[in-house]
Amino acid sequence: MSTTTTSPSQAAWPQGVSATGDSRERRGRPDWTDAVFFLLLAVGAGFAISRFGHAMDYYETVILCGLVPALTWLGWLWRPLRVLMLACALAAGLALMLYQNDLARAEHVFFLKYLFSSQSAVLWMCALFMLATVCYWGGIVSPTSAWLGTALTWGAVFAGLTGLLVRWRESHLMGPDLGHIPVSNLYEVFVLFSLITALFYLYYERKYATRALGGFVLLVISSAIVFLLWYSFTRDAGQIQPLVPALKSWWMKLHVPANFIGYGTFSLAAMVGFAYLIKQHGETASWAKLAPLFVLGVLLCAEPMVFRTDGLSATWMIYGGVGVVITGLILAARRPIARALPSLEVLDDIMYRAIAVGFAFFTVATVLGALWAADAWGAYWQWDPKETWALIVWLNYAAWLHMRLIKGLRGGMAAYWALVGLLITGFAFLGVNMFLSGLHSYGEL
């Protein structure tokens, strides 16, 4: 007679979901709820075209119509997305009703000032993500805390997505020629990055029935939140600014989201790689074997400080120091953390899937970027620094996938490579903007 034990973070999952691996949930054929969801999306798209069609060109109308079947499919693929989309639509709709086409009401109407204006919603997102990070780490010893981490992460995604939707409308209320999709500057794309990374994590959390990875993945989101808050309060970055001429294109609606799906999933894969190495070395007593992992952690914590072109500030010195301490504490507590983590096979599978998805979207984003460049500048490729580093990122993950599929790359080497990939991706995302001026220098600090 044998018994099966489950870690606290893997307990209390629905019947039919494995506590140690892929749930393999049977979705079945679309049912009447999918048809209703499709009709709701179609009605929403029709309303948007009838109400705001004057601000949309032909291509943007096609993109909106194409989103209806795409979002319906995603809602069938992952049911919680339907609830999220409907909740965000209702919240954003309420915000627009409260505005009554007057931006000044954001300072006087209670629900706008403290909840539903774009900046208020984003601040709520930041707070909830930080709290979720703490709860996920507490979930190593307390199942209730881990469950709360999941709930707070969903709350943060709801707040952030609502904030972006409302911000889109706010930009149009500022003037007839100022409205644009909120993915045009560092403030907006950091919000987008946090949301995409969190959503992919929540999907894998459900699919593999484990919350033990939440603390790892939320660390990279929390780092983005720290940057977002610093950037907002020191540079007043939350203010909506007019687009530069090159960004006034429908290509942006496709290129930027696809790009950040790549960034988000690459970051998720790196943190899962970190968890893999903690699991692999959970029982080792030798710190020498952990030295490469600690060095990589220090480099990742120090990378934002390197991006400062005006000298080190107290904020980023504290950030780097806290990051190094957190890395050291995780390594010191590796034994109980390793016991709570799923198997190495599951971690390896999540890492592979995340990189594969990210690589596919990053490839699409690169092709779209080339088409956009040809439309805006008359050439598909000009070896601009951003383009060059995008190619380096693409080659890095192409090599990772090649080595896995052809040479059977697995284990610690794959995990270390994923962490190094995050360093490369981080420089392509931010470092290029700091040090290498070029045609893509729209997000300078």
pLDDT in tens, 164-194: 999 999 998 988 778 889 998 889 999 999 9
Instruction: Give tens-digit pLDDT for 326-364.
Output: 988 998 899 999 999 999 999 999 999 999 999 999 999
How far apart, in whole angstroms, are the C-alpha atoms of residue 47 and residue 43?
Answer: 6
pLDDT number for residue 43: 96
Residues 71 and 92 in one domain: no
Q: Which residue has the tokens 């995302």?
A: 429
Region of residue 378 (left: phi > 0; alpha: psi -120 to 50; beta: else): left
Residues 315 and 206 in one domain: yes
DSSP string, 146-200: HHHHHHHHHHHHHHHHHHHHHHHHHHHHT-TTT---S-SSHHHHHHHHHHHHHHH
- Which range scores top for mean pLDDT: 141-145, 332-336, 430-434? 332-336
Residues 290 and 417 in one domain: yes
CB 235 within 8 A of CB 445: yes
How far apart, in whole angstroms, are the C-alpha atoms of residue 342 and residue 60?
Answer: 43
In a domain, 246, yes or no: no
Q: How confident is the model at residue 444 (pLDDT cuts 50, 70, 90)?
A: low
- For residue 36, give its domain range: 31-77
How many other β-carbons are positioned within 10 Å of the β-carbon of residue 404?
Answer: 18
Is residue 18 over pLDDT 50? Answer: no
Lookup: tokens for 206: 């459900």
Q: Which residues contact 131 (CB under 8 A, 6 or more apart)?
A: 152
Is residue 34 over pLDDT 60? Answer: yes
Residues 424 and 280 in one domain: yes
Is 110 or 307 the better-scoring residue by pLDDT?
110
Question: Mean pLDDT over residues 33-41, rounded?
Answer: 95
In a domain, 5, yes or no: no
pLDDT number for residue 203: 97
What total of structural domains would you count in the chain? 3
How far apart, in whole angstroms, are the C-alpha atoms of residue 294 and residue 275?
Answer: 13
Residues 193 and 326 in one domain: yes
Residues 68 and 119 in one domain: no
CB 280 within 8 A of CB 411: yes
How many other β-carbons are positioned within 10 Å of the β-carbon of residue 386?
Answer: 19
Nearest to 224 by CA among 183, 167, 186, 182: 186
Q: Which residues contact 263 (CB under 8 A, 6 or more apart)?
A: 193, 196, 358, 362, 425, 429
In a domain, 18, yes or no: no
H helices present in 209-251, as ranges: 214-235
Residues 412 and 361 in one domain: yes
CA geometry: angle 63, 69, 74, nearest 5 deg: 110
pLDDT number for residue 2: 39
**DSSP type of residue 114:** I
Radius of gyration for the alpha carbons in the chain, expressed in angstroms and rounded: 22
Q: How confident is the model at residue 303 (pLDDT cuts 50, 70, 90)?
A: low
In a domain, 6, yes or no: no
Residues 171 and 191 in one domain: no
Residues 285 and 368 in one domain: yes
**Phi, psi for 184 (deg, rounded to 5):** -110, -10
Lookup: tokens for 259: 């790009």
Is residue 119 over pLDDT 50? Answer: yes
Residues 220 and 321 in one domain: yes
How many other β-carbons are positioned within 10 Å of the β-carbon of residue 2?
Answer: 3
Is residue 439 over pLDDT 60? Answer: no
Answer with the one of 48, 77, 106 that is the final residue of a domain: 77
CA geometry: angle 22, 27, 28, nearest 5 deg: 140
What proportion of the chain, given as a percentage, has pLDDT over 90?
A: 59
Kindly report whether the global pTM for this prediction surpasses the value 0.85: yes
How far apart, in whole angstroms, are the C-alpha atoms of residue 337 and residue 325?
Answer: 16
In a domain, 391, yes or no: yes
In a domain, 20, yes or no: no
Q: What is the mean pLDDT of the chain?
A: 87
Is 295 or 199 the better-scoring residue by pLDDT?
199
Residues 164 and 263 in one domain: no
Question: Mean pLDDT over residues 405-419, rounded?
Answer: 93
pLDDT number for residue 3: 41
pLDDT number for residue 316: 73
In a domain, 119, yes or no: yes
What proportion of the chain, given as a percentage, has pLDDT over 70?
A: 88
Is 382 or 201 the better-scoring residue by pLDDT?
201
Question: Mean pLDDT over residues 12-34, rounded?
Answer: 61
Q: Which residue has the tokens 């390793």?
A: 338
**Phi, psi for 106 (deg, rounded to 5):** -65, -25
In a domain, 25, yes or no: no
Q: How confident is the model at residue 289 (pLDDT cuts 50, 70, 90)?
A: confident
- Which range scores top for mean pLDDT: 54-58, 182-186, 244-248, 384-388? 182-186
Determine the number of helices (DSSP H) and then strands (DSSP E) in the chain: 16, 0
Residues 223 and 329 in one domain: yes
Is residue 28 over pLDDT 90? Answer: no
